[in-house]
C-alpha cells in the first residue's frame, strides 16, 4: 500500500478580537507562528506543513513571514475555514489532512505523531481521528486527522455556520455517519480543563512566554513532560493564565452542539 501524502494545515490570521496579531508575538526571539511551525515540523508524521491564512490584506503580514522563514503558505476564505482547509488540501494534493490550530505554540511533536500513527495504523477503521473527543491532553495539543475523501464530504455538505467556521464539527457531530477514533493521553489523566497551553488572551501569552523563557535556551526541543516538570517546580507560571483554564469555543455553542456537554467547557 503506497504511503499517503500527508498535509498539516495550520490556520492563522492577524485578526483576533481578544489578542490581535497574536501569531506574531515574540517567543525566544522569533514570532510565535515561527516557533510553533518549528515544533509541528519536528513531528515525523506531519508531512508537508502549510500555514493557511486568508486573502485579506491584513494577512499579507503572515504571508510575508512565511516567505521570510521558508514556510509554505496558502491563502483562502477568511470566514469559511472549512473551505480554506479543503482548498489547501486540494492545492497540495493531500491524501491525509491534519488540522492543528495556530494558537498551540506549545504543542508536542510526539503527540502529533501519536495521533497520526493511530490513524495510519487503523485507516481502514476510521474516517476521523483526533485527541479531542473527549480531550485529555493539556489544552493546546490539538490534533485532528482525516482522509481527503471525508474532508471533501464535509466541505460539500456542512451547512451550519459553526461547521464552516471551526472546520471539523461536521465529523464529530455526526457519529452515526462517520467512524470516529480518539487518542487519549497515556498518562491516564485528564488535564484538558485544568492545563491551558493555548493562546487567546494576554495572560496566555504571558504563560507561554514564561515557559519558552525557562526551557527554550537550554532545551529548544522541550516537550510535554518538560513543561509539566517546570510547572511542578514553578507553579506560579501556571497561575499566569489559570483564570482561563477550561475556557474554549464550545461555551458559545452549547445550544447547538449535540456531542459536547457543559463539563467540557467553562464560561469566563
Position 3 scores a pLDDT of 79
Strands of the 180-182 sheet, one edge to the other: 72-76, 48-54, 6-11, 96-99, 144-147, 128-130, 180-182
Position 246 scores a pLDDT of 94
Q: What angle do CA 107, 108, 113 make, to 5 degrees?
A: 115
The three state secondary structure string of the chain is CCCCCEEEEEECCCCCCCCCCHHHCEECCEEHHHHHHHHHHHCCCCCEEEEEEECCHHHHHHHHHHHHHCCEEEEECCCCHHHHHHHHHHHCCCCEEEECCCCCCCCCHHHHHHHHHHHHHCCCCCCEEECECCECCCECCCCEEEEHHHHHHHHHHCCCHHHHHCCCHHHHCCCCCCCEEECCCCCCCCCCCCCECCCCCHHHHHHHHHHHHHHCCCCCCCCHHHHHHHHHHCHHHHHCCHHHCCCCHHHHCCCCCCCCCHHHCCCC
Instruction: Tell me the per-residue pLDDT of 26-80, one tens digit each, with 9 for 90 and over.
Output: 999 999 999 999 999 999 999 999 999 999 999 999 999 999 999 999 999 999 9
Instruction: Tell me the per-residue pLDDT of 154-168, one tens digit each, with 9 for 90 and over.
Output: 999 999 999 999 999
Position 1 scores a pLDDT of 58
Angstrom CA distances, 8 to 97, 98, 235, stand at 6, 4, 33
Position 32 scores a pLDDT of 98
Cell numbers of 77, please? Answer: 476564505
Does the pTM surpass 0.95? The reply is yes
Position 17 scores a pLDDT of 76
Position 95 scores a pLDDT of 98
Q: Beta strands 30-31 and 96-99: pairing type?
A: unpaired
What is the chain's pLDDT, residue by residue, as a tens digit (268 residues)? 577 999 999 999 998 778 989 999 999 999 999 999 999 999 999 999 999 999 999 999 999 999 999 999 999 999 999 999 999 999 999 999 999 999 999 999 999 999 999 999 999 999 999 999 999 999 999 999 999 999 999 999 999 999 999 999 999 999 999 999 999 999 999 999 999 999 999 999 999 999 999 999 999 999 999 999 999 999 999 999 999 999 998 888 988 999 999 899 998 8
Amino acid at each position: 500500500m503506497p504511503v499517503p501524502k500527508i498535509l498539516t494545515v495550520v490556520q492563522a490570521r492577524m485578526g483576533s478580537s481578544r489578542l490581535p496579531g497574536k501569531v506574531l508575538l515574540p517567543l525566544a526571539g522569533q514570532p510565535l507562528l515561527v516557533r510553533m511551525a518549528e515544533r509541528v515540523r519536528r513531528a515525523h508524521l506531519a508531512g508537508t506543513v502549510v500555514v493557511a491564512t486568508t486573502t485579506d490584506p491584513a494577512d499579507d503580514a503572515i504571508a510575508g513571514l512565511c516567505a521570510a522563514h521558508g514556510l509554505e503558505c496558502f491563502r483562502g476564505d477568511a470566514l469559511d475555514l472549512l473551505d480554506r482547509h479543503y482548498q489547501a488540501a486540494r492545492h497540495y494534493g493531500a491524501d491525509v489532512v491534519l488540522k492543528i490550530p495556530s494558537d498551540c505554540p506549545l504543542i508536542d511533536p510526539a503527540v502529533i505523531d501519536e495521533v497520526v500513527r493511530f490513524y495510519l495504523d487503523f485507516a481502514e477503521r476510521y474516517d476521523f481521528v483526533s485527541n479531542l473527543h473527549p480531550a485529555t491532553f493539556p489544552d493546546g495539543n490539538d490534533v485532528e486527522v482525516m482522509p481527503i475523501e471525508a474532508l471533501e464530504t464535509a466541505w460539500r455538505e456542512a451547512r451550519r455556520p459553526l461547521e464552516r467556521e471551526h472546520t471539523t464539527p461536521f465529523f464529530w457531530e455526526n457519529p452515526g455517519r462517520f467512524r470516529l477514533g480518539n487518542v487519549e493521553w497515556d498518562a491516564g489523566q485528564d488535564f484538558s480543563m485544568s492545563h491551558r497551553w493555548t493562546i487567546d488572551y494576554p495572560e496566555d501569552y504571558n504563560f507561554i512566554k514564561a515557559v519558552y523563557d525557562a526551557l527554550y535556551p537550554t532545551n529548544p526541543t522541550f516537550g510535554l513532560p518538560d513543561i509539566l516538570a517546570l510547572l511542578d517546580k514553578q507553579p506560579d507560571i501556571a497561575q499566569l493564565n489559570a483564570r482561563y483554564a477550561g475556557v474554549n469555543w464550545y461555551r458559545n455553542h452549547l445550544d447547538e452542539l449535540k456531542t459536547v456537554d457543559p463539563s467540557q467547557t467553562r464560561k469566563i
